[in-house]
Amino acid sequence: MKKIVVSILTAGLLLAFSSVTAFAGQWVYDNAGLFTDEEEAGLEELSAAFRTDTGMDFVILTADDAYSSAMERADDFYDQNGFAADGMLYLIDMYNREAWISTAGQMIYLLTDSRIDAVFDETNGFLTDGAYYDAAEGVLRRCKEYVKAGAPSGGSYAYDPETGNIVGRYEEEKSFNLLFIPIALLLGGAGFAAPFFLVRHSYELKGSTYRYNFHSSGSLDVTARTDQYLSTTVVRVPHPKDSGGGGGGSAVHTSSGGSTHGGGGRGF
Amino acid sequence: MSTVTFKCPNCGAGLLFNPENQKFHCEFCDSAFEQPYLEQLAKEEERRAAERAKKEQAAPESKEQEQGGLVYLCPSCGAEIVTDGTTAATFCYFCQNPVVLSGRLTDEYRPDSVLPFTVTKEDAVERFLGWTSKKKFVPTGFFDKKKISGLSGIYYPYWAADYQMDARFSGTGEIVTQISMSDEDIITTKHYAVAREGKAEFRDVMRSALKKQDRKLGDGIHPYRLESLKPFSMAYLSGFFAEKRDIDKDAVRPEIIGELKEYADTMLREDMHYTGVSGSTLVNPKGERYRYVLLPAWIVTYKDHAGKLWHYAMNGQTGALCGKLPVDKGKVATLGAVIGGAAAILTLIAGWLFA
């Protein structure tokens, strides 16, 4: 009980500090009763940290009642509970015996199909063994790493799996690029120094001496020309091999609520 | 040696050359005289001066001083005039009459031509003030009109050289072509033996003929339009300072030929159409003409509050100005801070927009 109080206090504090949040913090919905209280509190804490660190929601849902499919259950739950536009839901669906990751917004581009596969490769073993907490904790940790790493280098895109058409491309979030700080310092320094050089040049007679204009005051008539061919040399330079860029794609679909989700699942 | 003051035939006061109408002007009785009239007068004066000089050799009036300066007697008031070794025209410090040291400008030291002043003193002061007011980084209050009005007009000695020369370039050239194939670039270089011969002519190559002249300041106000050169007459110097040359043409010849070789080399290379050329040019002077000319400049010597001297020169024909200006570092730093700050802020904004 004490732990719950502490975790609620922590979550409350974190929420108070994160101005972007309007959502009252619950991310773990253990409807199937797979976690102990301590485990649930721990996951809640991790989800809260996920939210503060990334600005995205990481929702954990367990269920064992009947539903049309794991995908629909995950998408609908995310859509209907007022989570952030960017985020994901990890569903452990005991009824369908399937783990599902549903992604929304920017998370679609961060968790590409191949990354979701990798996450399941890593965590589905826990589900088979009944170690549900370890599975959820592993998914969360791995996904957080992916978010921190950003979209795969080479670009990330969303596509319709039925037609193969690309329906969206990842755009880097407009956050401040730290690289610009040294550039700003450099340009600022150059801007500061420029007047000194210019003034020095025009005030202190640097390089302002008169040059004789030999084109207007002189002339030259060429009286003899020799251009005798001597030899030819040929050099062949092979082109550098092109290394194609990486990147990755995410299959997307539209949920019954009308919003777009990416994601994938795997049975256990 | 002897001294001459060109005197007004009407009243006997000293005559000054007026750059505005190119006539000789008597400030005293307001008479103006054309140049040919003075020419005659000048010849007369020179002849008389030469006669006096012969007598002086028996009993020299002037005596060599320790620093190489010389003492002359003012032909108007008899006061002593102390001069530099190269002074050819000055003013008597006592009676302010213009004095031409005619003995300094005879025989080999007689200039071939003189370019008379066309910028008047009033013009010069105005141009100078206009120039300094445009220079925003000069410390406030550095220039004041009173000090600038003390500027003096000086004729400086120069060598003007004309050359005809044969020039010959020999070396190698290459033409490089590059063909881009699917998997490689083929670079083909054709090598040639290249030679060019030519006849070159250069007119009016200038060299200062005065050792003490600041080369940078002196060259900074070039070029002069030498087509306005007049045959030398001492009368032109009346009312100005003048320096006689102390550099022989033999001393400037190697430097001039070296410079012309560079020009000939450049011009010969302009006749070649290669990707790259290496080689060198030899020149063989066929004809040369050296003229010893006096060119006009207005000179301002300016002492700042710290006692440091600043020199400014203005072309006495074109009005072109040259000289180091003092810089108010605070003013520059302020501008620098504004530009630097703006650059930094814009970059940071760009950092938000294009992250």
Q: Please compute the mean of the pLDDT values over residues A131-158 and round it to a whole number.
A: 85
Check residue A153 and give its pLDDT.
74
DSSP bridge partners of B14: B7
pLDDT category of residue A97 using cuts at 50, 70 and 90: confident
Distance CA A192, CA A200 (A): 14
Amino acid at the residue A253 = H
Sign of CA dihedral B331, B333, B337, B340: positive
More confident of the two residues B44 and A206 = B44
Distance CA B283, CA A57 (A): 83
Give residue-wise pLDDT tens across range B211-222: 887 777 778 888
Contact of B10 with B93, CB cutoff 8 Å: no
DSSP bridge partners of B303: B309
Give residue-wise pLDDT tens across range B150-173: 788 999 999 999 999 999 999 999
> Inter-chain contact B198–A228, Cβ cutoff 8 Å?
no
**Tokens 């011969």, located at residue:** B197
**Residue B216 token pair:** 């940078």
DSSP string, B58-122: HS-S--B-TTS-EEEE-TTT--EEEE-TTEEEEE-TTT--EEE-GGGGSGGGS-SEE----S-HH
Strands A248-254 and A260-267 come out as antiparallel
Residues in contact with B189: Cβ distance below 8 Å, sequence separation at least 6, in sequence order: A232, A233, A234, A235, B174, B175, B176
> Inter-chain contact B340–A230, Cβ cutoff 8 Å?
no
Residues in contact with A197: Cβ distance below 8 Å, sequence separation at least 6, in sequence order: none
Residues of chain B whose pLDDT is less than 50? 58-68
Residues in contact with B181: Cβ distance below 8 Å, sequence separation at least 6, in sequence order: none
Assess whether pLDDT exceeds 70 at residue A4. Answer: no
More confident of the two residues A250 and B288 = B288
> Inter-chain contact B202–A214, Cβ cutoff 8 Å?
yes
**Closest CA–CA distance from residue B98 to any residue of chain A (Å):** 32
> Inter-chain contact A239–B183, Cβ cutoff 8 Å?
yes
Distance CA B221, CA B199 (A): 30
What are the two backbone dihedrals, phi and then psi, of residue A77, each rounded to the nearest 5 degrees?
A: -65, -40
Nearest partner of B100 among B76, B65, B68, judged by Cα: B76
Distance CA A83, CA B127 (A): 76
Q: Could you tell me if B212 lies within 8 Å of chain A, comparing CB atoms?
A: no
Check residue B287 and give its pLDDT.
93
Assess whether pLDDT exceeds 60 at residue A77. Answer: yes
Nearest to B344 among A184, A227, A228 (CB): A184
Distance CA B327, CA A21 (A): 57
DSSP bridge partners of A157: A169, A249
Distance CA A142, CA A249 (A): 18
In chain A, DSSP finds a helix count (H) and a strand count (E) of 8, 9
What are the two backbone dihedrals, phi and then psi, of residue A161, each rounded to the nearest 5 degrees?
A: -65, -20
Ramachandran area for residue A164 (φ above 0: left; ψ -120 to 50: alpha; else beta): left
Range of weakest confidence among A134-138, A179-183, B58-62, B325-329: B58-62
The DSSP H or E segment spanning B38 is helix B35-58
Strands B23-26 and B15-18 come out as antiparallel
Q: Which residues of A touch B325 (CB under 8 A)?
A: 203-204
Whether cis (ω within 30° of 0) applies to the bond prior to A152 is no
C-alpha distances (whole Å) from A92 to each of A41, A60, A129, A131 are 17, 8, 13, 12
Range of weakest confidence among A70-74, A199-203, B226-230: A199-203
Nearest partner of B72 among B80, B100, B98, B243, judged by Cα: B80
**Closest CA–CA distance from residue A107 to any residue of chain B (Å):** 19
Nearest to B222 among A203, A204, A210 (CB): A210
Strand order across the A57-63 sheet: A28-30, A57-63, A87-93, A98-104, A260-267, A248-254, A156-159, A166-169
Distance CA B175, CA A229 (A): 10
Nearest to B201 among A177, A219, A234 (CB): A219
Give residue-wise pLDDT tens across range A14-58: 544 444 444 557 889 998 888 998 999 999 999 999 888 888 899
Distance CA B268, CA B168 (A): 8
Nearest to B344 among A188, A218, A228 (CB): A188
Check residue B101 and give its pLDDT.
83
